[in-house]
Amino acid sequence: MLNIVIFGAPGSGKGTQSELLIKRYGLKHVSTGDLLRFEIKEGTELGKIADHYISKGQLVPDDIMIEILEDLIKKNLDKKGFIFDGFPRTLPQGEALNNKLKKNGLDITAVLSLEVNDEALIDRLLKRGQISGRSDDNDDTIKSRLHVYHQQTEPLKEYYAKQNKLVYIPGEGTIDEVFNSIEKAINNLTNG
Ligand code: B4P
């Protein structure tokens, strides 16, 4: 099974590259951001809780996210592999993902870290905000999301580097250029 974590700051292109990866490798896409936005749109209890955090640029609490993740893995063990997009975002989430995969005899193949500087991220997210209408794509919320990323999510790089899973991907080229780098990285992993 090919189990990829697509990692990066808000706006680094995780969702964009995941779409291309699914087409190319037929993996099950686990996007916690998409899932939460769906719940918000449907007005469910989970959606109401998620909206409270997302609109402020904060992370949804770990216990909620870990339960969602475990359920998603359990329901999709028959798939060719997973692409985890936006999960994990904290160390406890990273540990939970490792444990859940291990319990099912699985492992993360690689963590692809999309590297984009903060200025370019802000620019992309403000542009997306003009068309997406997303409650979290405005100036103040973007700044708080980036702060949360550097504080709570970025330490996961060290966690995965220690496990020899971290692969840096330059994320500032065009969408196709970034995808080319990802394909090369995956070819190296699966052929080497
Ligand atoms: P997510 O939905 O995961 O979204 P994201 O980090 O904002 O964006 P992504 O990196 O996917 O960027 P995209 O491809 O769209 O999270 C939203 C929120 O949900 C979080 O802030 C958090 O509150 C909550 N949440 C989700 N998961 C959670 C978890 N596990 N725990 C706790 N809370 C959680 O790209 C952005 C824009 O850039 C797009 O407009 C795109 O077209 C453009 N773009 C992409 N690649 C480009 C390129 N190469 N060049 C130019 N533009 C590009």
Bridge partners of 6, per DSSP, are 85, 112
In-domain check, residue 64: yes
Q: How many domains does the chain have?
A: 1
Give distance in angstroms: CA of 15 to centre of ligand 1.
6
Q: Which residues are catalytic?
A: 14, 89, 128, 134, 145
pLDDT in tens, 64-103: 999 999 999 999 999 999 999 999 999 999 999 999 999 9
CATH number at residue 119: 3.40.50.300
In-domain check, residue 56: yes
In-domain check, residue 139: yes
Between CA 75 and CA 59 the distance in angstroms is: 24
Chain centroid to Cα 129, Å, comes to 19
In-domain check, residue 168: yes
Domain of 120, in residue numbers: 2-184
| Per-residue pLDDT band at 1 (split at 50, 70, 90) | confident
113 lines ligand 1 (CB under 6 A): no
Residue 8 region, left (φ>0) first, then alpha (ψ -120 to 50), else beta?
A: left
Three-state SS for 50-109 is HHHHHCCCCCCCHHHHHHHHHHHHHHCCCCCEEEEECCCCCHHHHHHHHHHHHHCCCCCC
Residue nearest to atom 25 of ligand 1 (CA): 33
In-domain check, residue 192: no
Summary mean pLDDT of the chain: 96
In-domain check, residue 190: no
Between CA 150 and CA 142 the distance in angstroms is: 12
In-domain check, residue 114: yes
Between CA 45 and CA 23 the distance in angstroms is: 32
In-domain check, residue 175: yes
Pocket test for ligand 1, best of 52, 87, 124, 148 (most atoms within 8 A of CB): 124
End-to-end Cα spacing for the chain? 15
pLDDT in tens, 28-62: 999 999 999 999 999 999 999 999 999 999 999 99
